[in-house]
Amino acid sequence: MNDAIKHSHVEVNGVRLHLAEQGEGPLVLLLHGFPESWYSWRHQFAPLAEAGYRVVAPDQRGYARSSQPEDVDKYSLLHLVGDVTALIGALGAERAVVVGHDWGAPVAWTTAALRPDLVRGVAGLSVPPLPAGPGPLQAARENFGEGFYQIYFQEPGRADAELAADITSSLRRILCGTRPGGEPRPWVIPEGGKLLDTVPEPERLPDWLTEADLDAFAADYALHGERAFTGGLNWYRNIDRNNELMTAFIGKRIDVPALYVAGEQDLVNAMIAPEVLAYLLKELTPRLHRHVRLPETGHWTQQERPAEVTAALLDFLTHLEGQSG
């Protein structure tokens, strides 16, 4: 088995996706979130490949080394799911296990819900399966105010320019700004303030993040220049549109084996009450294998706790092999 990560590109649905790949065997797709890239899965490649899997992590549409469509409406959830389903075929596979973190989780959950014929199993990190419904941004305004980060991201160009002014600093601030400590809080920008005012430069990096890691992320983001973060921000600008497009699938369950992993100090916990989370997992993932809670862990799950996340994924993959045997 080749023990090095290989890099390539593939054309799907009019976009050019960069792929990082290692190993041979059944396909496992790893989908990153915001503001990350394939590199967020750096700790999972070798262990999963050594266990006998073909591990592929794309830079998703609009991110890092992948192409970035100009139009905001090219970043709907259906476009993103379409990229995943096309990628499975382009890689010569009939089915895949799909794993997603942060924004990658809704893409993974929705791919499994809509195309169970292509998905052997699905794992979501940080973000649970969420039902489609009307007006999610209005609900966010009512619950968290106009300064809630998802609302702040809606204005084209504003957050884009702030983040692109110093890419490395922006990544350092965001990745360190949700470090464990105290109760998780929603990300809210005070009235009249700027996004990065809420995440000051850290005095030191956490143990799980190095300057070399930041340089790796930043080098890929810099390929898009002033639009370094625009592709990822455009995902947020489709939130309400996604729910309109998904109304035909309200109530649809995810009928494949599932795994959910989240940190106990993840900011997502401040947005979804424990009883709501329990209800969502019960109602939307009837074949849930495990719900793994990681103590003293924030939002960047697979980076903060690589050994624990990898162990949970390997356990889930073993469970899937047992079901197919």
Segments making up each domain of the chain, as ranges: 6-324
* Mean pLDDT confidence for 315-321: 96
* 237 Cβ contact list (under 8 Å, min separation 6): 72, 75, 153, 154, 156
Query: Residue 21 burial (CB < 10 Å; 0-12/13-18/19+)?
Result: buried
Q: Which of 44-53, 95-104, 267-276, 297-306 has the lowest mean pLDDT?
A: 267-276
Beta-bridge partners for 27: 54
pLDDT reading at 2 higher than 70: no
Q: 6-324 has which CATH code?
A: 3.40.50.1820
Residue-level pLDDT at 323: 82
* Mean pLDDT confidence for 61-89: 98
pLDDT reading at 204 higher than 90: yes
What span, in angstroms and rounded, lies between the C-alpha atoms of 142 and 77? Answer: 24
Catalytic residue among 32, 101, 224, 299: 299
Catalytic residue among 102, 213, 220, 266: 102
Q: Using only C-alpha atoms, what is the Rg of the chain?
A: 18
Using a pLDDT cut of 70, give the percent of the chain over it: 97
Q: Is the pTM of this model over 0.95?
A: yes
pLDDT reading at 308 higher than 50: yes
Q: Is position 102 annotated as part of the catalytic site?
A: yes
Residue-level pLDDT at 1: 41
* Mean pLDDT confidence for 169-179: 88
* Mean pLDDT confidence for 162-184: 86
Residue-level pLDDT at 132: 80
Query: Residue 158 burial (CB < 10 Å; 0-12/13-18/19+)?
Result: middle
Q: Is position 43 annotated as part of the catalytic site?
A: no
pLDDT reading at 103 higher than 90: yes
* Mean pLDDT confidence for 282-311: 97
pLDDT single digits (tens) 243-272: 999 999 998 999 999 999 999 999 999 999
Residue-level pLDDT at 179: 56
Residue 246: name the closest of 107, 124, 54 by CA: 107
